Structure 1
Amino acid sequence: MDTVENRELRYFVAVAEELHFGRAAERLGIAQPPLSRAIQQLERRLGVTLLERNRRGVLLTGAGEILLQEGRAALDAAAAAVRRTRRAGDRGAGRDRLVLAVKAGAFHELLHKLLDAYAAEPGAAEIEVLPSGTCEQEEMLRDGRADVALMHTPFNSLAGFDSVELVTEGQVAILPAKHPLATRRSLSMAEIADVPDLPLARWPRKDFSPPGPGPDVHDQTQLAQLIALGRTMTVFPESARTWLWEEHAAVPLSDAPLVTTHIVWPAHSRSRVLAGLVRTASRL
């Protein structure tokens, strides 16, 4: 059976993502001719055309799209294996450790309950809490930076993971306390979608950002400050009330989708300490 090396996958994924051999070569830190030869050799060995090359650039074929999807997953899996193996080696004969990825600033109460309850269990592992940006937990779990994560549907994809539901809650609009809308008992999604003086904040992920002229935000501290200054507002689950400033107000949204928090882990995991954490979370 033909095999594909990690190096070849890295080369192909770079070209497939950039759709340009020159940019891909620069990204990889190699010259363009050997990159082109490597892709041609990969196509010959697989017996398929992965890329269509023409004067306007590079396009993925159907086979190329499949290899891009599977190649990313394979590279993530290899990176995850290395990271988790090194983490296990670093522990040596010491106490077991799990890395838990959580969305920065969210679900303080649930997280406190989980950590306190698990710490009371016999033989509990050390838990390193790794705050992450919006929707980064999925990537961190796939590439091995985290062993387990708290993720939130409908925002996160749980595909390829095992999970247990923990809590479901509504959403609120977080806006400046002095804004006229802050006095409302509830708002609709339509009402907050077009407020000229208070556009919705935009996050780096395009599929997660609302349309419109709102400011780009990259972390919770920046977002909190912009809301306090009256420059933007945002939508968060109800539990986000725990990190609000005095300059903020939270107004329930009557028609926003419910948010469900899950504890999530790789489907292939056989970790004893991870199983113990999941059992504790399930009992909360």
Structure 2
Amino acid sequence: MDDLETRELRYFVTVAEEQHVGRAAVRLGMSQPPLSRAIRQLELRIGAALFERTPRGVELTPAGTVLLAEARPALAAMAAAGRRARRAGTPSRRLVLAVKAGADHELLQALLDVQGADPQALPLDVQFGEVHEQAAFLRDGSADVALMHRTYDDLTGFDTEDLRTEQQVAILPRSHRLAARASLSVADLRDLPDLPAARWPRVDGTYADGPGPEVHSQAQLAQLVALGRTVIVIPRSSRTLQWPEHVAVPVLDAPLATTVVAWPATSTSPDVARVVRNAVRAAALVAGAEARTA
């Protein structure tokens, strides 16, 4: 079998997502007959049917299910390679660092300072995102390296270097009955009827059932806490999510949160490797400063 083409995979994935050749053709901006021919040709090259035709459209066969699972990351990797290549080919080369808005401020500032003082390092552009978006930025090539958190983030497919490990704190409304406590346990926060846990969107954009508010940004979440609608547990250093209306209380038995610098496991870039080394140096500087003020 000849190597599959990117165009063929894109056609196949679109039909699989739409479950209808006509709708897929509209989405692709082409007519239906050439799309149907391309799918049949792909099936002939693979030697297996990818779709079962139904009165309502098409459904994936077992072979189609396998190909869809492989095709999506393959297309994403191709797109990511193109984006990174374009950045590498620009006259003023720069790297993109993805970070979670509001998290690791001291570490981020230290990394930018260390990177900026390194004469052999490329400049860093910072791309801020919401919870879990850093992994997507790395996978689609929008970013070259990221600050992420083991415990919260999906690190599959990335190489990582641990930078700091810290306790987590519960962020409560200042008026809440638990806000005066010196410390809390996970059990103290479980199923609070007046502070149900917030619900983040899933990959498909839908929300799990539950009494907690639906959120899509950390700023929204912080305001909901201030209004007494929910509680959050975050790494102690995430100070920008702690408003005057909030109280941070240590959660003694919560899993420790580890900040890591992450990059695609396939990367062989010496420039990315230099960012990683500088991130480790920055973390050591922050730890030293914290120890002196403790």
Q: What is the TM-score normalised by the length of structure 1? A: 0.88
- The alignment yields a C-alpha RMSD, in angstroms, of 2.4
Instruction: Mark the CA change 1:30 to 1:123 in structure 2 (over 3 Å): closer, same or farther.
Output: same
Amino-acid identity (%) = 61
- 2:287 corresponds to which residue? none
Confirm or deny: 8 A CA contact 1:187 1:251 kept in the other structure.
yes
Give the SS at the match of 1:183.
Answer: coil
- 1:127 corresponds to which residue? 124
Unmatched 5+ stretches in structure 1: none
Q: CA deviation at 1:47?
A: 0.5
CA distance in 1, matches of 2:239, 2:140: 31
CA distance in 2, matches of 1:190, 1:62: 44
Instruction: Mark the CA change 1:256 to 1:40 in structure 2 (over 3 Å): closer, same or farther.
Output: farther
Instruction: Mark the CA change 1:9 to 1:245 in structure 2 (over 3 Å): closer, same or farther.
Output: same
Give the SS at the match of 1:185.
Answer: coil
Instruction: Mark the CA change 1:154 to 1:33 in structure 2 (over 3 Å): closer, same or farther.
Output: farther
Instruction: Give the counterpart of 2:247 among 246, 249, 257.
Output: 249
Give the SS at the match of 1:102.
Answer: strand
Instruction: Mark the CA change 1:248 to 1:160 in structure 2 (over 3 Å): closer, same or farther.
Output: same
Matches within 5 A, 1:198-209: 198-205=195-202
Confirm or deny: 8 A CA contact 1:241 1:250 kept in the other structure.
no
Q: What is the TM-score normalised by the length of structure 2? A: 0.85
Instruction: Give the counterpart of 1:277 among 275, 287, 290.
Output: 275
- 2:102 corresponds to which residue? 105
- 1:188 corresponds to which residue? 185
Query: Number of matched residues?
Result: 281
Unmatched 5+ stretches in structure 2: 285-294
Instruction: Mark the CA change 1:206 to 1:44 in structure 2 (over 3 Å): closer, same or farther.
Output: closer
Q: CA deviation at 1:107?
A: 0.9
Instruction: Mark the CA change 1:222 to 1:47 in structure 2 (over 3 Å): closer, same or farther.
Output: same
CA distance in 2, matches of 1:135, 1:5: 31
CA distance in 2, matches of 1:169, 1:19: 46
Q: In the alignment, residue 82 of structure 2 is paired with which amino acid? A: V
Instruction: Mark the CA change 1:14 to 1:181 in structure 2 (over 3 Å): closer, same or farther.
Output: farther
Deviates more, 1:142-151 or 1:152-161: 152-161
Instruction: Mark the CA change 1:106 to 1:55 in structure 2 (over 3 Å): closer, same or farther.
Output: same
Q: In the alignment, residue 140 of structure 1 is paired with which amino acid? A: F
Q: CA deviation at 1:101?
A: 0.4
Instruction: Mark the CA change 1:206 to 1:185 in structure 2 (over 3 Å): closer, same or farther.
Output: farther
Are 2:114 and 1:117 equivalent residues in the alignment? yes
- 2:76 corresponds to which residue? 76
Matches within 5 A, 1:204-223: 204-205=201-202, 212-223=210-221
Are 2:134 and 1:137 equivalent residues in the alignment? yes
Q: In the alignment, residue 271 of structure 1 is paired with which amino acid? A: S
- 1:14 corresponds to which residue? 14
CA distance in 1, matches of 2:59, 2:190: 36
Instruction: Give the counterpart of 2:234 among 226, 236, 243.
Output: 236
Confirm or deny: 8 A CA contact 1:201 1:210 kept in the other structure.
no
Q: In the alignment, residue 268 of structure 1 is paired with which amino acid? A: T
Q: CA deviation at 1:58?
A: 4.1
